[in-house]
Amino acid sequence: MATALTDNPTANDAANGTANGADAGTPAVRLSHVSKSFGRPGHGQTVLDDISLDVAPGEFVCLLGASGCGKSTLLNLVAGLDAPSSGEIRVAGDRRPALMFQEHALFPWLTAGKNVELALRLRGVPRGERREEAERLLELVRLRGAYGKRVHELSGGMRQRVAMARALAQKSSVLLMDEPFAALDAITRDVLHEELTRIWQATGDVSVLFVTHNVREAVRLAQRVVLLSSRPGRIARQWQVGIPQPRRIEDAAVADLSVEITEQLRGEIRRHGQH
């Protein structure tokens, strides 16, 4: 069902590369001894410490950890929104990673279709091709007919679907997702888990780096779960998830692995509280 991995990146190379039939020699994302501190040198706070991690092409990886452990900071570094204090980050492909936030970040004065078209325009897609491609992407996220709807006409789940379509419009080989379903109700979140899995499988070669503090969400979605320790964030443990997709959040195998990971997470929180 699941294989526990060590926190040694060299020991994990084979596991990192075998996901989805990917080639271990050409990671979609490679972090090499990445650290990040805020504040003045010698007086700042180290948020991430010596993170080394490969994400294979087409692999779905969930970053899991307690609030404040540096998950979102790590995602911002991979996205190029901030620079590491030390170490190196490499992202494959000629496009920056696509980024999807907890908030949909749609422009309210644009329709759903025009929000998607904006990403297409920035990508250089000719004007005459944008509407057809936007409608195709909206249909991919099961929003057929929503092209002309304004943001205020859409439910929270529909807005996140538009945000997903806009992210896919960037045609990046790497999709970064920062707790994109955290603000949604349980039923909507469950539906979007199914949709994200379907879309990821349909794209075939898109690597997903998904940040969450929800253990069951991580096990439901990921091929690999990476647990970060707290302050500073270090890779504490990894699990290769062998549960076949599609998964349900209430499946016994998902529940069993979630219990195991939760115990590890509690241990990291307790250790942090003792310092």
CA dihedral 149, 155, 156, 158 (to 10 degrees): -50
Q: Per-residue pLDDT tens, the chain, 275 aa: give them.
A: 554 454 434 334 434 433 443 445 689 999 999 999 988 766 678 899 999 999 999 999 999 998 888 999 999 999 999 999 999 999 998 889 999 988 888 999 999 999 999 999 999 999 999 999 999 999 999 999 999 999 999 999 999 999 999 999 999 999 999 999 988 999 999 999 999 999 999 888 899 999 999 999 999 999 999 999 988 899 999 999 999 998 999 999 999 999 999 999 998 888 766 54
Cβ atoms within 10 Å, residue 98 = 22
Distance CA 39, CA 90 (A): 25
Contact at 8 Å (CB) between 225 and 218? Answer: yes
Q: Give the phi and the psi of residue 21 in degrees, each rounded to 5.
A: 75, 25
pLDDT at 45: 86
pLDDT tens digits, 147-196: 999 999 999 999 999 999 999 999 999 999 999 998 899 999 999 999 99
pLDDT > 90: what percent of the chain?
Answer: 73
Contact at 8 Å (CB) between 177 and 72? Answer: no
Q: 59: burial class by Cβ within 10 Å (0-12, 13-18, 19+)?
A: buried
pTM: 0.88
Distance CA 124, CA 142 (A): 25
Distance CA 255, CA 92 (A): 34
Distance CA 91, CA 29 (A): 5
Q: Does domain 2-97+172-273 have CATH number 3.40.640.10?
A: no
Q: Which amino acid is at 6?
A: T
Strands 60-64, 207-212: pairing is parallel
Sketch the domain layout of the chain as residue ranges: 2-97+172-273, 106-171
